């Protein structure tokens, strides 16, 4: 079978599965797009003022303030120090204080908000997303958008009902290099795809980077626990929540969400049919913090488009990191997000269309924050839509359910159900 027929078959399969994306209710076009007038200033609230909220969301947005006419007017975070640090940036940029709140609930009661960014703890994403959608706001939400499947469905349903513009924080798909990789792959140049793999390794777990001294009197501990059982305050749990399973589920959802989103974006794939995932808390970094997230873990998904996807992490040795797509006519290497390359080494049906090692030609694309701001103005669908977020969340939740149960998980995209078998 030639590559064009292979590609056509893959697109048919993808289209059939994509039709089953999470859209329980249809809305008319007038309701679906609530764009903001070209001359109106966009008023944004920030939910989650930690390092991601300040250094990625706030700074990433502010680069475009002159061309998009927005202001940050409100901040919410359980930690006083983070709120005040974020407010210092607002004062420097806009010449006045933002309104500050401990709870996102109070921020969402503001009547003059247009949009929010969500950079809270992974556990909180779906609650914040659902509440912001029900408030009728445009939303930029960090990945993974969910750690539990029922919460995911409820939040996505709320977004579909609201019809507002949601950009999910898988920002790598908006890099011109990655858009170029997507465009190249979809020409069929790599032939029949067989495997997309990632080994994302490091000398120590990334959650150690976030550890800091936090005083109990500066934190609303109950707000942070988000309904989890009460327990004494611990600074290393609050600041190092990435390392605790209750709050984040570890590297497959947190780091792997980017990778699995790129699988969907670059190949056009839909949902995985099945997944198996095994991992452990390796004792290389066993210490007084008692982190509970697996630091050595691997997940493998089977896709109906006919290829295998594997994501693994060894957070106890940094060697042999790789990120690569394999086809029978060539391979795409995106280990370096910014400079992906391709060649035909090892391809059994290479036909001369790829010669040597080549850099992928970038495709112009606005960055992820600008894309979101532009879509709020024009009513367009952003590059990482709520459907894209739902896709990556399904995949990583399948993986972690397999890890928890020791069994294979399967997904039914029509019934929206994940089952263990």
Burial class for 148, CB neighbours closer than 10 Å (0-12, 13-18, 19+):
middle
Number of domains in the chain: 2
**Partners of 43 in the beta sheet?**
71
**Partners of 300 in the beta sheet?**
276, 310
pLDDT bracket for residue 34 (50, 70, 90): low
Query: Given a cut of 60, is residue 256 above it in pLDDT?
Result: yes
Query: Given a cut of 50, is residue 168 above it in pLDDT?
Result: yes
Residues 196 and 288: their CA atoms lie apart, in Å, by 37
Q: What is the CATH number of the domain that holds 150?
A: 3.40.50.720
Residues 46 and 33 in one domain: yes
Residues 226 and 338 in one domain: yes
pLDDT at 40: 87
> Is 312 inside any structural domain?
yes
Residue 312 and residue 198 in contact, taking contact as beta carbons nearer than 8 Å: yes
Residues 275 and 273: their CA atoms lie apart, in Å, by 7
Residues 52 and 163 in one domain: yes
Residue 389 and residue 143 in contact, taking contact as beta carbons nearer than 8 Å: yes
> Is 193 inside any structural domain?
yes
Q: Side by side, which strands form the sheet with 341-343? A: 358-359, 341-343, 331-333, 322-327, 193-199, 308-314, 296-302, 274-280, 409-412, 417-420
Residues 178 and 93 in one domain: no
Residues 28 and 267: their CA atoms lie apart, in Å, by 30
Residues 158 and 263 in one domain: no
> What range defines the domain where residue 197 resides?
174-364+394-420
Q: What is the CATH number of the domain that holds 243?
A: 3.30.360.10
Tokens linked to 363: 């495709």
Residues 180 and 106 in one domain: no
Residues 182 and 256 in one domain: yes
pLDDT bracket for residue 21 (50, 70, 90): very low
> Is 185 inside any structural domain?
yes
Residues 269 and 412 in one domain: yes
Mean pLDDT, the chain, rounded, equals: 92
pTM assigned to the model: 0.91
Residues 159 and 251 in one domain: no
Residue 337 and residue 322 in contact, taking contact as beta carbons nearer than 8 Å: no
Instruction: Give the three-state DSSP class for 399.
Output: helix
pLDDT at 4: 38
> Is 13 inside any structural domain?
no
Tokens linked to 281: 């808390």
Residues 77 and 37: their CA atoms lie apart, in Å, by 30
Residues 152 and 280 in one domain: no
Query: Given a cut of 50, is residue 258 above it in pLDDT?
Result: yes
pLDDT bracket for residue 327 (50, 70, 90): very high
Residue 74 and residue 46 in contact, taking contact as beta carbons nearer than 8 Å: yes
pLDDT at 37: 73
Residues 274 and 251 in one domain: yes
- Please give the average per-residue pLDDT across 205-222, as a whole number: 97
> Is 411 inside any structural domain?
yes
pLDDT at 22: 39
Residues 311 and 166: their CA atoms lie apart, in Å, by 26
Residues 102 and 87 in one domain: yes
Residues 303 and 279: their CA atoms lie apart, in Å, by 21
Displacement of CA 418 from its chain's centroid (Å): 20
> Is 132 inside any structural domain?
yes
Tokens linked to 205: 């777990």
> Is 49 inside any structural domain?
yes
Residues 384 and 141: their CA atoms lie apart, in Å, by 10
> Is 398 inside any structural domain?
yes
Query: Given a cut of 80, is residue 6 above it in pLDDT?
Result: no
- Please give the average per-residue pLDDT across 162-181, as a whole number: 98
């Amino acid at each position: 079978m030639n590559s064009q027929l292979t590609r056509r078959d893959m697109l048919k399969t993808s289209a059939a599965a994509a039709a089953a994306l999470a859209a329980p209710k249809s809305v008319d076009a007038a309701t679906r797009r609530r764009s903001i007038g070209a001359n109106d200033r966009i008023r944004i609230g920030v939910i989650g003022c930690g390092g991601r909220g300040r250094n990625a969301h706030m700074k990433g947005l502010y680069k475009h303030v002159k061309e998009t006419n927005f202001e940050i007017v409100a901040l919410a975070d359980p930690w006083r120090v983070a709120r005040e640090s974020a407010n210092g940036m607002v004062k420097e940029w806009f010449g006045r204080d933002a309104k500050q709140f401990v709870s996102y609930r109070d921020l969402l009661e503001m009547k003059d908000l247009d949009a929010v960014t969500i950079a809270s703890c992974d556990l909180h994403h779906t609650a914040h997303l659902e509440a912001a959608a029900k408030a009728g706001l445009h939303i930029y939400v960090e990945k993974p958008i969910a750690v539990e499947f029922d919460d995911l469905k409820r939040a996505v349903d709320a977004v579909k009902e609201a019809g507002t513009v949601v950009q999910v924080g898988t920002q790598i798909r908006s890099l011109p290099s990655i858009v170029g990789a997507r465009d190249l792959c979809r020409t069929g140049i790599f032939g029949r795809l067989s495997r997309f793999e990632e080994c994302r390794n490091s000398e120590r777990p990334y959650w150690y980077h976030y550890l800091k001294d936090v005083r109990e009197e500066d934190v609303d501990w109950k707000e942070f626990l988000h309904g989890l059982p009460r327990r004494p305050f611990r600074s290393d749990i609050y600041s190092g929540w990435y390392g605790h399973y209750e709050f984040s589920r570890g590297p497959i959802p947190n780091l792997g969400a980017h990778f699995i989103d790129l699988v969907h974006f670059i190949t056009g794939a839909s949902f995985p049919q099945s997944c198996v995932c095994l991992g452990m808390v390796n004792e290389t970094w066993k210490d007084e913090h008692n982190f509970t997230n697996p630091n050595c873990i691997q997940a493998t998904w089977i896709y109906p488009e006919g290829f295998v996807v594997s994501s693994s992490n060894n957070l106890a040795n940094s060697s042999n990191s790789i990120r690569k797509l394999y086809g029978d006519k060539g391979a795409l290497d995106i280990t370096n997000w910014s400079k992906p390359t391709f060649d035909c080494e090892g391809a059994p049906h290479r036909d001369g269309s790829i010669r040597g090692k080549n850099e992928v030609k970038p495709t112009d694309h606005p960055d992820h924050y600008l894309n979101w701001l532009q879509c709020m103005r024009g009513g367009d669908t952003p590059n990482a839509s709520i459907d894209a977020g739902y896709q990556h969340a399904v995949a990583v939740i399948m993986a972690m359910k397999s890890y928890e149960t020791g069994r294979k998980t399967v997904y039914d995209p029509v019934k929206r159900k994940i089952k263990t078998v």
